[in-house]
Amino acid sequence: MSLRLDTQYADQFVSAGSLEKLRPAAEAAFKKVRDPAERSAQPIGWLTLPEDYDREEFSRIKVCAERIKKMCDVFVVIGIGGSYLGARAAIEFVKGANYNALNKNGPAVYFSGNSIDPDALSELLEICADKDVCVNVISKSGTTTEPAIAFRVFRELLEKKYGAEGAVKRIFVTTDKTPKPGTLKEFADAVGYETFVVPSNIGGRFSVLSAVGLLPIAVAGCDIDAMMAGANDAMKDFADYDFTKNTAVRYAVYRNCLHSEGKAVEFYCSYTPALQYTGEWLKQLYGESEGKDHKGIFPASAVYSTDLHSLGQYVQDGERILFETVLIPDEPRYKLDIPKAALDTDGIGYIAGKSLHYVNSKAFLGTVLAHVKGGVPNLVVSYEKADEKNFGYLVYFFELACAISGYILGVCPFNQPGVEAYKKNMFILLGKPGYEGQTI
């Protein structure tokens, strides 16, 4: 198994018997996720996706990604929420936070349509001005305000640059499978855009291993076969309910235990900036799945050691409402040693010649021990290294654990009714047809 969960730094914070008390709920939750009735009522398609994904579309994604890589300098990915965070998390996890500055074998990948901010969109237009551009718009309905605005803007740009016909070849649409009247799918088919499918049985935040995430991930130069293989490994590893062995079940149980001990905030921590967006993805996955009915753990994230010099003081010694879930690789992507120096004015001569990974691993262990002593439980999730296989594995692990955790908490982990509230108000304020006379 390429992933391990170390609970030794959390056990002392869990009351005697409270793990045992949650085990029946955990077993019921595990069975519920697999129950055919539940799976036809809820969007649980991600559960078997690593096995039953559409091979024809998967091959087409790879072919299409190679074409896009040759055709453009900038690849603009338009999507919000689950149509944004998964792909960005994957690319940064595998290629690092500086992927655009480093990538010499393909286009820069920029994400757009995830806000209504004129500044961010205008900046990206400026970046695209003298570049060749392709666009991937990702939207199930095609009517979500943020991506719809960005798609209009970039469609206009591409049609100006390449003419109507030229633009058609540079626009890729990931949307609903069925071309119902008035949908993006119908529009795309009519115009002739190549389309990919947002699976109807997988919710946005669980969709990174579908075409939603895979096309941008492949364009960024990641090996999506390896990513699916990693998810497939996880699917097999977590197929059976066995509390002592099933890491996804144990993680779900521990975080619920810590929550019931008064830990209101889960702090997802890593020791590499490349995992910043894995943190963002986790915040959506857990926050949106569990934050309802006035329940749920508030998810936050940090990149250490930089944030040890900002939020570290709070973690060590602030209100005791936190627990940490640390993501840590066994090996880094790069090997780099600390140079020797003639003078030791910086006082680090004692670690000169050592690898940064070695020092980083001591920073990690020292931090865990310090925070635990300060009253902050730590759950440590270790993986082999930052590659496609491990990302796929981690995705499946966290998705399954999230579903189980939500059911243990007593909420439906697959809906997000609260997201509509701001949209409804916005539509009323903007005077959207159909909202006349409604009050905020």
CA atoms within 13 Å, Cβ hemisphere of 413? 30
Nearer to its own copies, 226 or 426 (CB): 426
| Residue tagged active-site, from 288, 290, 324, 399 | 288
| Residue tagged active-site, from 104, 160, 309, 340 | 309
Establish whether 288 is a catalytic residue: yes
Establish whether 126 is a catalytic residue: no
Least gap, CB of 158 to its own copies (angstroms):
12
Nearer to its own copies, 223 or 337 (CB): 337
Report the amino acid identity of residue 108.
Answer: A
Least gap, CB of 36 to its own copies (angstroms):
27
Determine how many CB atoms are found less than 10 A away from the CB of residue 190. Answer: 9
d(Cα 26, Cα 426) in Å, to the nearest integer?
A: 39
Least gap, CB of 132 to its own copies (angstroms):
15
| Residue tagged active-site, from 131, 180, 354, 423 | 423
d(Cα 277, Cα 89) in Å, to the nearest integer?
A: 4
| Token pair for 185 | 């799918």
Whole-angstrom distance between the N-terminal and C-terminal Cα of the chain? 51
User: Kindly report the CA angle at 255 between 319 and 373, in degrees rounded to 5?
Assistant: 45
Among 69, 74, 171, CA closest to 131? 74
- Kind plus residue range of the DSSP H or E element containing 236: helix 224-237
Nearer to its own copies, 241 or 427 (CB): 427
**Orientation of helix 388-409 relative to helix 224-237, angle to 10°:** 40
Least gap, CB of 330 to its own copies (angstroms):
13
Establish whether 309 is a catalytic residue: yes
Least gap, CB of 82 to its own copies (angstroms):
7
Nearer to its own copies, 249 or 258 (CB): 258
Least gap, CB of 358 to its own copies (angstroms):
8
d(Cα 360, Cα 365) in Å, to the nearest integer?
A: 9
Nearer to its own copies, 204 or 230 (CB): 204
Among 250, 350, 224, 324, CA closest to 19? 250
Nearer to its own copies, 61 or 202 (CB): 202
SS3 383: strand
Name the pairing type of β-strands 378-383 and 322-329. parallel
Q: Which residues are catalytic?
A: 288, 309, 423
